[in-house]
Structure 1
């Protein structure tokens, strides 16, 4: 069977389960709400020192601004360690929440037996497996990014960028077949699996880049306060739509992988 046939079957299969796309977006919304709530609590704690400060309005807007900046600098100097510690804890908790929710929800997304008879996507190892898989992939990419930064500043930015993209593609390929319990496809259909992943990722990248360019063009035309509000609303809508697109293409990816694996088993 040709790659185009597998991909077409993957799209058809994904269209039968649109609820899974919303299910995948749900955990990101939950993470965002929890992160914003934690950020609000940290900001409320930091602002407790500001509530007790009283100062008179000078009637001069510029002078009021200078006084406010001086007060903020004093608060920063007095609470620098506490603010940095709170920000670090918030960042760590937010990242842990992202990995936890991703593994928890996608255990159902990847491992749910929603395929027709004989076709099933297996999340080998369940929650713990998906958690470790995403964590390992992210740590490798972060480490590679730090190692390639000096290379980029040394004048080889293009090489560093291409190397990072190639590594990201390779890790995504391995992560996909491992999560789908289809590692055997690397030996039987490596080029078709790589082609499938490349097509879907390139399509998503093109859509995302086009939308970002449109938003950037809109930012250059901002001239009134209402334009700023309109751009913020547009940016929010774009983020939601891009997340829906990513989840949909992810569902197509795992559906197609399941079909390809089933074809290999039948052969």
Structure 2
């Protein structure tokens, strides 16, 4: 029994660390230029109003508001062909347009092509509205600049700490006091959950149940979590709830550890 609980708790910590790392990686770069994709310019009918542009740089957005479950706002960028490629620089800036308008992110690249997809991540920056400015410089001299406003739609459903959803269990035995393995999927509204650490399992008394969580679907590339899978061992009579986390989760007596030895890789899964 103790070994089972220790393994479950260790696995939970290990998977949480991996999920956290993946989440941080997804949002680590808030401005991305992609010159590698085969891009088709958007129709001018879809173009949104821009400030500036026309002397060597064009920027087209199909929409300037990302949906609740989306992370990236994307635009089509094109450089005029008559510019010397060796001397061209592209600079992108994001300003907070809701507060004092200060600069929150920037990036400079040497273009490897005449067209690119520019992706902007407002979720990591925690911005609901921002001003995007893209500059074109030749030999360090500004040649052209375009600006537009970007918006991030809030979730329709905001998860509240302490909020619970009861899980209906189908016991495999008539002994409801026996520990039984359970696996179930859990859907989430767009934009309501970006990191799995915000959820946990508890029983009827609010005591945390060791579990493993796996993200199985996202609402968009690098977007919020759409479906998650829970694996655990529960006492049916004690109940099972998914709760929005309001405290630090359970830590194992001894966390999962890996160590390289002369005989190979040693994995410690906890005290036995």
What is the TM-score normalised by the length of structure 1?
A: 0.25
Report which of the two has the higher share of strand: 2
Report which of the two has the higher share of helix: 1
